[in-house]
Amino acid sequence: MRRTKISWFAILMVLAFAGAGTMVALYRGAQESLAELTLSPLDNNTWAAVQVQLEYERLRSVLRAARLADPDVTLESIGLRVDIIHSRIGVLEAGDVGFALARLPSHSTVMEVLRSAMQSADLILASAEPDDVGDVARRLDGLLEPLDSTIKRFTVEVVQSSAAFRHRHEAELAALLVQLRWISIFVGAGLLGGASLLALQNRRLRASERGARKMLHELTEANAAKSRFLANMSHELRTPLNAVLGFSDVMRQQMLGPLPVRYAGYVRDIHASGEHLLGLIEDVLNMARIDAGHAELKMEWVALSEIIDSALLVTRPQAELGHVTLQLPPAPDVEVLVDARALRQVLVNLLSNAVKFTERGGRVSCRVVQEPRGGLHIDVEDTGMGIPPDDLAKVTQPFHRGANATAAAVGGTGLGLAITKTLIELHDGRLELISALGEGTRARIVLPAARLRPRTATGLRASA
C-alpha cells in the first residue's frame, strides 16, 4: 500500500513538473511576443505617417493663402512648414520607425519622392526675394500638388499594416496567455495541494507577466519620447542652419553685389562649415539608421584628392585656431569607388579628432599610400596626447568618450569614431588605431584594391 502511494505521488510529481515545464515554455513564448511588440513601434509608425500627411496639408493650406495675397504669409512661415516636413521625413527614416516602415513595398519610393520634393522646395526658398511670396507659393504648389495621392496612399498603407501587425500578435499573445491559465489549473489539480514549489513558481510567473506588461508600457513610452525628441531637435537645429546656409549662399554667389576677395573666401568657409554642421546634426539619426542596417550609400568613382581637400577645408580653421600644423604630403592621383559624402565625413571626423587632441604647436598629417598588393590606406597621424591602452578597444563604441577626452574637457558626442568605423566597413574596408600615450595616434583607413583605379588626369598634389 505504501509503495502504491509513493508511485502515485511520483506520477503526480512527474505530471506537475511536466506541466510546469510547459508553462515555462509558453511563458517564454509570451515574452517573445511582448518583446516583438515592444521592438515594433506600431503607434509611432502611424503617428509619423499621419504627421507627414498633416504637415503636407498645412503647407498646402499656407501656399493657397499666399496665392490669395494673405499678408500674414511670409517666406519665413513657408520655410518653417517645409522644415517641419523635413523633420517628419527624418522620423520616417530613422531608428525603429524607419526599420519597421522599410518593410513596406512603397517606403523607398515615397521617401525618395518626398526628399526630392523638399530639396527642390529648399532651393526655391533659398533663391527667392522677400517680395516674391506669391510667385514662390505658385511654384511650390505646382511642385507639391502631384504628391497628394502618393502621401495619402502611403498613410493608409502604414495604418493598415500597423493595425494588422498588432492584431495578429495580440491574438497570438492572448492564445498563449489562455494556455498558461489552463496549464496552471492542471498543475494545481495534479499537485493536490502538496506541490508548494510549483505554486510558488506559478506566482513568480504571474509576477513576471505583470512586470513584462509594465515593461512593455514603459518601453513604448520611452520609444515615443525618443522619436519626438529626435524629430524636435532635428527641426530646431535645421531651421537656423538653413538660414545660415541660405544667406551665406546668397553672399557666396554675390547676388546682391560683389564682395571683397578676402570676404568672399570667408563666406565660402562659412557655407562649407555650415553644410558640415548640418550633417553632424544627423549623426544620432545616422547611428540609429546604421544600427538598423539601413544606411544608404551612393557609390561612385570620385577623385580622392577632392574628398581630402574638402575635408581639410572644414578642418583647417579648427587647426589654425589651435595653432596646429596640417601636413599633406604628395599623394597618388587616384579615384576611389565610395560614397563621397560618407568618406568625407570619415576624414573630417578623424582630422577633427586629431586636431582636438593635439596641443598647441603640434602636427597633424594626412598621408595616402598605395599598397604593393593594389590596395590603399589613408593615415591620419597626430603628435597629440595619445589614447590610453584601456580605451583603445572602446573608443569606436557608440557614446564612449575616452579618459583623455574627459580630462581635457574636449567636446563631442562619442559617436564620431563609431560612425567612422561602420562607414569604413560598409566600404569593405577597416579602421586601424595605433596609439601610445603621450606620443600621438595614427588612424588608418584601409580600402581594398577593388575600390581603387588610376585617375584620368595626371600629376601629384602639392603639400597643404
Residues 86 and 55: their CA atoms lie apart, in Å, by 10
CATH number, domain with residue 351: 3.30.565.10
DSSP string, 131-193: T-HHHHHHHHHHHHGGGHHHHHHHHHHHHHHHHHHHHHHHHHHHHHHHHHHHHHHHHHHHHTT
327-337 per-position pLDDT tens digit: 888 778 899 99
CB neighbours (10 Å) of residue 62?
Answer: 22
Q: Lowest mean pLDDT of 85-94, 156-165, 207-216, 284-293, name the range.
A: 284-293
Shared domain for 37 and 104, answered yes or no, is: yes
Residues 293 and 94: their CA atoms lie apart, in Å, by 11
DSSP H or E stretch at residue 129: none
Q: Lowest mean pLDDT of 182-196, 235-249, 377-391, name the range.
A: 182-196
Point out the domain boundary residue: 246, 264, 296.
Answer: 296
| Closest by Cα among 76, 66, 231, 61 to 144 | 61
Q: What percent of the chain has pLDDT over 70?
A: 69
* Burial (CB count <10 Å: 0-12, 13-18, 19+), residue 55: buried
pTM reported for the whole predicted model: 0.44
CB neighbours (10 Å) of residue 399?
Answer: 10
Residues 341 and 297: their CA atoms lie apart, in Å, by 9
Residues 87 and 322: their CA atoms lie apart, in Å, by 35
- For cell 547611428, what's the residue? 287
Residue 455 reports pLDDT greater than 80: no
| Closest by Cα among 402, 326, 337, 318 to 375 | 337
CB neighbours (10 Å) of residue 200?
Answer: 10
**Is residue 462 in a domain?**
no
Residues 402 and 404: their CA atoms lie apart, in Å, by 5
Residue 183 reports pLDDT greater than 70: no
Shared domain for 39 and 144, answered yes or no, is: yes
| Confidence band of 187 (pLDDT split at 50, 70, 90) | low
85-111 per-position pLDDT tens digit: 888 777 776 655 555 566 677 777 777
> How many domains are there within the chain?
2
More confident residue, 355 or 222: 355
| Closest by Cα among 20, 31, 30, 32 to 177 | 30
Q: Return mean pLDDT, the chain.
A: 76
Shared domain for 27 and 78, answered yes or no, is: yes
**Is residue 464 in a domain?**
no
| Closest by Cα among 307, 301, 342 to 328 | 307
SS (H, E, C) 254-273: CCCCCCCHHHHHHHHHHHHH
Mean of the pLDDT values across residues 426-437?
Answer: 90
254-274 b/e with 16+ CB inside 10 Å = b?
eeeeeeeeeeeeebebbbbbb
DSSP string, 275-318: HHHHHHHTHHHHHHHHHTT------EEEEHHHHHHHHHHHHHHH
Shared domain for 196 and 63, answered yes or no, is: yes
Task: Say what the pLDDT of residue 40 is.
Answer: 47
Q: Lowest mean pLDDT of 21-25, 273-277, 278-282, 315-319, name the range.
A: 21-25
Shared domain for 105 and 145, answered yes or no, is: yes
CA dihedral sign of residues 13, 15, 16, 20: positive
Shared domain for 205 and 291, answered yes or no, is: yes
Shared domain for 274 and 371, answered yes or no, is: no
Task: Say what the pLDDT of residue 191 is.
Answer: 57
Residue 69 reports pLDDT greater than 90: no
Distances (CA, A) of 457 to 58, 244, 292, 453: 51, 36, 40, 12
Domain with 409, as residue range(s), is 301-454
| Confidence band of 244 (pLDDT split at 50, 70, 90) | confident
Residues 180 and 30: their CA atoms lie apart, in Å, by 9
* Burial (CB count <10 Å: 0-12, 13-18, 19+), residue 127: middle
**Is residue 448 in a domain?**
yes
User: Residue 369: CB partners within 8 Å, gap ≥ 6?
Assistant: 332, 376, 377, 378, 379
Shared domain for 291 and 338, answered yes or no, is: no
Task: Say what the pLDDT of residue 39 is.
Answer: 45
Point out the domain boundary residue: 280, 296, 312.
Answer: 296
200: region left, alpha or beta (phi > 0 left; psi from -120 to 50 alpha): alpha
Shared domain for 233 and 268, answered yes or no, is: yes
Mean of the pLDDT values across residues 171-177?
Answer: 69
**Is residue 460 in a domain?**
no
Shared domain for 339 and 210, answered yes or no, is: no
> What type of residue is 304?
L
Residue 66 reports pLDDT greater than 70: yes
What backbone phi and psi angles, to 5 degrees, belong to 88? -65, -40
Point out the domain boundary residue: 274, 296, 318.
Answer: 296
Residues 1 and 233: their CA atoms lie apart, in Å, by 77
Shared domain for 273 and 336, answered yes or no, is: no
Distance of CA 18 to the CA centre of its chain: 47
**Is residue 222 in a domain?**
yes
Residues 15 and 194: their CA atoms lie apart, in Å, by 13
Shared domain for 278 and 305, answered yes or no, is: no
